[in-house]
Structure 1
Amino acid sequence: MVFDIIEHLQIRPELKESILEFRKQYPVEPQFQSRIPVPSNIYYGTDIWERAVTALLCGKNILLVGHKATGKNIFAENLAAAFARPRWDVSFHVNMDAASLIGMDTFKKQEVIFRPGPICCAAQHGGFAVLDEINMAKNEALAVLHGTLDFRRSIDVPGYERIDLHPATRFIATMNYGYAGTKELNEALVSRFVVIRMPMISQEHLILLLQDHYPTLKTEGAKELAAVYLDLQKKCENAQISSRAMDLRGLLDGVALMEKGLNVQDALDMGITNKTFDPYEQTLIQDTIRGRISKKMKPEDLFEEKCGSRRKEFA
């Protein structure tokens, strides 16, 4: 399905051919086939696709930078699916250290053996390692990536032999702005990535996303829901409300509740409004929603068929 989307976005034909050649050149071992993602969400944006695909084909690692709800993790998953690579996810947090990334000693059959971590597994088997929220990582954890990400393309495991990266291995890092616990990335680390700034989703692409998830959603209904989200986005940009309301997952969750027959206003409150706990901000969000969505609107007004219809799946 990812290739259908690439054709729809009119990505350059030579890039598509190069992806197919890459897949033929680097087949995946049978035991890791299950790690190749099958995305249920598709990222829309021809320019971003072309930039990322070109970088990966050139052997580069990618840093996806952008605000909340710009589709960074969805896009990382889509890229792994398009290149048919097994994916290893690394979510950085305060307790993530070098051993968690590379691996550590463990006991098996009364022997001490090395249990590889996600970075080593991706390195050995030609996987795509997705480094989520990399600007939340401790310096100790990031230091082990320097030799992995630069021209050396190797990992020195203390007490064991050096691991050279499989030629298909790539690293895709993501980072948000302004979250609690984030920090500026080390200049040496940033220099090992090519950086793609992820734009906010457009109304056209948001409508496509909503109708991809919910095929029975009427076009007019999708337009109204997209307009609500973009109105909230403008208020967030103008510092009238916090970024808590900028929750694309929340909007999709709300539409799922509507599809099951829940009142439209209640569904949007559960998916979006209640994500903030400040009463004044909740009132601003509700006013924005009610400015677009009438209290009289019913779920059946938004969908072509009876609510509870089966969600479309991507394969």
Structure 2
Amino acid sequence: MLLKIYPGNVNRALDDEHKPLLKGYGLGRDGKIYLEYLTDSISGKRQVVAALMPGGTPTIYHDCKSFEGPSPKPCWHLGAMSLAMPGHVPMPVNVERYQVTPVPIIKDLTEGILDRPGDFELLELVEDDSMTGEAEELVVPELPKEDSWIARYNLPVRVLKKVLAFREKQKETLTDEQKARIPEAKYIPSGNEFISAVSAMVYGPEGKRWEAPLLIGPKGSGKSTMAESLAAVFMLPVNKIFGGIDLNAEALLGARTLVPSEGIDLVTEAKLRSACKAAGMDSEPLVQKVRGAQMKIGFEPGILLQAVEKGEMIVVDEINMVIPEVTSLLHGLLDWQKTLSVPGYGTVTAPSSFRLVGCMNFGYSGTKNINEAFQDRFRSIQVPHLSSIQLANLVSQETGCKDANSRKLADLFEKLAQGVANGDFSERVLSIRALFRVAREEMDGCGMLKTVATSVLTEGLNDKFEVAQVSDIIEACIRD
């Protein structure tokens, strides 16, 4: 049974009535996390909840009256259990409706959650901290303080370990300039799409068989934000290129050009000094001037070549608009050799840190289906729109606007998305960035929410009929 834990479930677990019922958390020898609690404050009866987190959607073993009936609901016990789990609420979980038989616990986790040691009766804390090899594979490693934010993505343990090892290498090698080009992780997953992308980027031992994710989704689904969040997870500086007829091999790889040459050859310098001496001139100023004017043929690397040589991330946006000349360049980077052939320069083997992410969206003028053989080199991943609740949370976090306004804007976006799906108007009206603009302008006193939303969302439209339709939806969703 799939349920979702909400902030209200967590708040209830920590209120004055329920927090005293929480007796302790422990890490079991089997890799599960256990919670021992009192069923109520009078009977003194104790029970145990367990959670297993191999990655993806966690599984919680628990039975409760809240699960009965045609519409099961999450209970405060699930909220309490989430306190010991990586990630953040709202959090989807699989619920197995039965009471587990607890195994001995090898670590008391209560101190880090409730600021006190555990008070166990059903759970037995043993000194032997050994685990089975299989269980050790399931235990989430402790994250360094600066990496603690990664926990919210609930990565599978094996994937997380490879990510952390990758980040440690990056911390040792990145320059300050490169660190400044690492974006923040702002993507909010709707399902397992983020886990799938991270997993593809660390396929094989030490991530050596990685594959490039191809993020496929409608406009406004957050593909670019997801790509930047992947870069943040891997501590990779981002280089972006945008598909189109203007993007060619020379722009990506670079070209031969004239560059200043240091010094002049000895024969030329000797002849120059001899001529100056014969003419009774001081040769030094002339020699220095000639040295500065010397040019030679060099190579100016393009954005793709630079990213490959430095072991950074390249994000190809609207990859299905890329011309064949460019896709052929990417083939070598997408196979097991990870090489880039540059005419007149040579073949470059990408460092182990290099990564590539593609993004594509059907609907723009000029877009087309991607070549099947080319797409097969990617790990294709569907990126859906955020749910209304998730989008409202994102708008609030990004802009600091009132919750009531963020909910109205999220509902508005949902209605616009439905209109686009029905073919009522174009995808250009779907923009999460536009929602941020509306929220910020309203906060700065530029007008009422409805007025600002109408201005931001319609003034870029050329079709009067489309403007009228969008205005009607704004009128229905936002009532100041």
TM norm structure 1: 0.87
Residues in 2 aligned to 1:128 and 1:196: alpha-carbon distance in whole angstroms: 18
Residues in 1 aligned to 2:434 and 2:316: alpha-carbon distance in whole angstroms: 23
Corresponding residue of 1:241:
425
Superposed counterparts of 1:98-247, under 5 Å: 98-109=249-260, 110-215=295-400, 217-247=401-431
Residues in 1 aligned to 2:201 and 2:346: alpha-carbon distance in whole angstroms: 27
Letter of the 2:432 counterpart: L
Corresponding residue of 1:312:
none
Q: 8 Å contact 1:28–1:86 — kept in the other structure?
A: no
Letter of the 1:287 counterpart: D
Residues in 2 aligned to 1:243 and 1:293: alpha-carbon distance in whole angstroms: 21
More strand per residue? 2
Judging changes above 3 Å, is the alpha-carbon distance between structure 1 residues 24 and 3 closer, same or farther for their aligned structure 2 residues? closer
Q: 8 Å contact 2:212–2:355 — kept in the other structure?
A: yes
Superposed counterparts of 1:1-315, under 5 Å: 6-26=150-170, 27-30=172-175, 32-34=177-179, 36-39=181-184, 41-45=186-190, 47-58=192-203, 59-109=210-260, 110-215=295-400, 217-263=401-447, 264-294=449-479, 297=480
Judging changes above 3 Å, is the alpha-carbon distance between structure 1 residues 42 and 170 closer, same or farther for their aligned structure 2 residues? same
Q: Percent same amino acid among aligned pairs?
A: 27
Q: 8 Å contact 2:318–2:359 — kept in the other structure?
A: yes
Q: Which range is displaced more, 63-72 or 229-238?
A: 229-238
Q: 8 Å contact 2:254–2:299 — kept in the other structure?
A: yes
Q: Which range is displaced more, 145-154 or 70-79?
A: 145-154
Letter of the 1:89 counterpart: K
Letter of the 1:24 counterpart: E
Partner secondary structure for residue 211 of structure 1 = helix
Bigger CA radius of gyration: 2
Residues in 2 aligned to 1:62 and 1:11: alpha-carbon distance in whole angstroms: 16
Residues in 2 aligned to 1:126 and 1:101: alpha-carbon distance in whole angstroms: 15
Larger relative contact order (CA 8 Å, sep ≥ 6): 1
Letter of the 1:12 counterpart: P
Q: 8 Å contact 1:89–1:132 — kept in the other structure?
A: yes
Residues in 1 aligned to 2:461 and 2:185: alpha-carbon distance in whole angstroms: 27
Residues in 2 aligned to 1:233 and 1:2: alpha-carbon distance in whole angstroms: 37
Superposition CA RMSD, Å: 2.1
TM norm structure 2: 0.58
Count of residue pairs brought into register by the alignment: 294
More helix per residue? 1
Judging changes above 3 Å, is the alpha-carbon distance between structure 1 residues 105 and 34 closer, same or farther for their aligned structure 2 residues? farther
Deviation at 1:153, TM superposition (A): 1.2
Q: 8 Å contact 2:187–2:222 — kept in the other structure?
A: no
Residues in 1 aligned to 2:317 and 2:240: alpha-carbon distance in whole angstroms: 7
Letter of the 1:225 counterpart: L
Judging changes above 3 Å, is the alpha-carbon distance between structure 1 residues 45 and 12 closer, same or farther for their aligned structure 2 residues? farther
